[in-house]
C-alpha cells in the first residue's frame, strides 16, 4: 500500500509501507520505493539521540574498514591519474582515513559535522575544490541523499563512497544487520537502481562493485577497469605507493612549528 505523505526521499514517488521495527526504544515505520528501489525509515526525529555518540559502540570494524578504504582510494586515484591531487574525506570520523592517506603520501583533508577529529588534527578541510571526495559508510545516514550528493559533487569531480546495497528481496527487520536498529543512525538503504537514479538526476556516471563501493564521477573512467582494479587492489597498491612520498615526517615538522591548540 502506498502511504500518502511518505514519499521517497530520493525520487519523490509514493512509498509502500513495509513494517515497523523497534529502534532506540520506539516503533519506527519502514518504507520501500517501487520506482528507484530505495528503502527508508519514516522521517527521522530521533537523530539527536542517535548522534549523542557519533561513532556507535557496535562499530568494531572501524580500523579494518579504514585500512580497506585507504587501499581503495589509493588505487582509484592511481587509475584516474590523481595521486598528486587533493582529497577531502567527508564524514571523516576520528580522522583515521585522512591520516592513513597522508602517511601514504596523499594530500588528504578531514571534514565531519558530528565527530571530533582525533588523529588528523591540523588537516581539517580548508574548503575549495578537490579532485576526489570520499564518504565512507555515510550515505545510509543521509536524510536527503540527492542534496547531500549534490553538495559532494560541488566540491569534487568524483565521489567515492561506500554503503551496503540492499538485497533484491527486502530483508525483514531482524534479518539484516545493516538496518542498524541498535544505534538508529541508518535511515536509508540503496539498490543499484537508486544509484542510477541519483547519477542521472545529478548528471554524472556511477560505477559500482554491486555490493558496497561506488564511484560517482564526471570522468570517463571505465567501470570494468575500475571494478577490476578494486578486485585486485592489493596487487596494484605497489604501483600507487611507488609514485607517492609519505607525508608523515613533513606533517610532523609542520605541526611542530605551529602553535597548536591551547588547553581550555
* Co-location of 42 and 77 in the same domain: no
pLDDT at position 60: 82
Q: Judging by beta carbons within 10 Å of its beta carbon (0-12, 13-18, 19+), is residue 100 exposed, middle or buried?
A: buried
Is the pTM value of this prediction over 0.95? no
Percent of the chain predicted with pLDDT > 90 = 89
Give the CATH number, domain containing residue 202.
3.40.50
Between CA 228 and CA 20 the distance in angstroms is: 39
* Co-location of 105 and 214 in the same domain: yes
- Domain assignment present for residue 143? The answer is yes
* Co-location of 29 and 158 in the same domain: no
pLDDT at position 262: 46
Per DSSP, what are the bridge partners of residue 15?
Answer: 33
pLDDT at position 237: 96
Band (pLDDT 50/70/90 cuts) for residue 4 is very low
* Co-location of 203 and 148 in the same domain: yes
* Co-location of 35 and 160 in the same domain: no
Quote the domain boundaries for residue 183.
Answer: 62-256
Summarize pLDDT for 18-37 with one digit per residue, the tens.
Answer: 999 999 999 999 999 999 99
* Co-location of 18 and 136 in the same domain: no
Between CA 23 and CA 181 the distance in angstroms is: 5
Band (pLDDT 50/70/90 cuts) for residue 263 is very low
Phi, psi of 149 (to 5 degrees): -70, -40
- Domain assignment present for residue 262? The answer is no
Between CA 63 and CA 112 the distance in angstroms is: 17
Is the model's pLDDT at 54 over the cut of 80?
no
Is the model's pLDDT at 3 over the cut of 70?
no
CA neighbor of 32 nearest in space, from 174, 184, 169: 169
Q: Which three cell numbers stand for residue 104?
A: 601514504
pLDDT at position 258: 84
Between CA 62 and CA 140 the distance in angstroms is: 16
- Domain assignment present for residue 263? The answer is no
- Domain assignment present for residue 264? The answer is no
* Co-location of 76 and 188 in the same domain: yes
* Co-location of 43 and 148 in the same domain: no
* Co-location of 28 and 70 in the same domain: no
Band (pLDDT 50/70/90 cuts) for residue 261 is low
Summarize pLDDT for 225-251 with one digit per residue, the tens.
Answer: 999 999 999 999 999 999 999 999 999
pLDDT at position 23: 94
Between CA 183 and CA 188 the distance in angstroms is: 14
Phi, psi of 185 (to 5 degrees): -90, -15
Give the CATH number, domain containing residue 8.
2.20.25
**3-class secondary structure for 87-130?**
EEEECCCCCHHHHHHHHHCCEEEEECCCCCCCCCCCCECCCCCE
**Domain total in the chain:** 2
* Co-location of 178 and 158 in the same domain: yes
* Co-location of 135 and 164 in the same domain: yes
Burial call 107-116: b when 16+ CB within 10 Å, e when fewer: bbbbbbeebe
Summarize pLDDT for 81-135 with one digit per residue, the tens.
Answer: 999 999 999 999 999 999 999 999 999 999 998 899 999 999 999 999 999 999 9
* Co-location of 41 and 68 in the same domain: no
Amino acid at each position: 500500500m502506498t502511504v500518502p505523505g511518505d514519499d521517497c526521499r530520493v525520487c519523490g514517488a509514493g512509498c509502500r509501507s513495509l513494517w515497523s521495527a523497534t529502534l532506540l526504544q520506539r516503533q519506527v515505520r519502514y518504507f520501500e520505493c517501487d520506482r528507484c528501489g530505495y528503502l527508508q525509515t519514516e522521517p527521522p526525529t530521533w537523530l539527536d539521540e542517535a548522534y549523542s555518540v557519533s561513532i556507535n559502540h557496535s562499530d568494531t570494524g572501524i580500523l579494518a574498514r579504514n585500512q580497506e578504504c585507504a587501499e581503495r582510494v589509493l588505487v582509484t586515484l592511481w587509475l584516474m591519474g590523481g595521486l598528486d591531487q587533493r582529497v577531502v574525506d567527508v564524514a571523516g570520523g576520528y580522522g583515521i582515513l585522512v591520516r592513513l592517506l597522508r602517511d601514504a603520501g596523499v594530500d588528504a583533508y578531514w571534514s565531519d559535522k558530528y565527530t571530533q577529529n582525533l588523529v588528523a588534527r591540523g588537516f581539517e578541510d580548508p574548503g575549495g575544490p578537490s579532485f576526489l571526495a570520499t564518504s565512507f559508510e555515510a550515505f545510509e545516514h543521509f536524510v536527503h541523499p540527492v542534496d547531500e550528493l549534490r553538495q559532494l559533487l560541488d566540491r569534487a569531480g568524483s565521489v567515492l563512497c561506500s554503503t551496503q546495497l540492499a538485497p533484491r528481496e527486502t530483508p525483514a527487520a531482524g534479518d539484516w544487520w545493516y538496518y542498524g536498529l541498535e544505534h538508529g543512525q541508518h535511515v536509508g538503504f540503496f539498490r543499484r537502481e537508486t544509484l542510477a537514479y541519483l547519477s542521472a538526476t545529478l548528471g554524472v556516471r556511477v560505477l559500482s562493485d554491486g555490493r558496497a563501493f561506488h564511484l560517482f564521477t564526471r570522468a570517463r573512467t571505465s567501470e570494468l577497469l575500475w571494478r577490476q582494479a578494486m578486485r585486485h587492489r592489493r596487487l596494484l597498491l605497489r604501483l600507487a605507493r611507488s609514485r607517492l612520498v609519505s607525508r608523515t615526517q613533513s606533517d610532523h615538522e609542520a605541526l611542530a612549528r605551529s602553535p597548536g591548540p591551547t588547553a581550555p
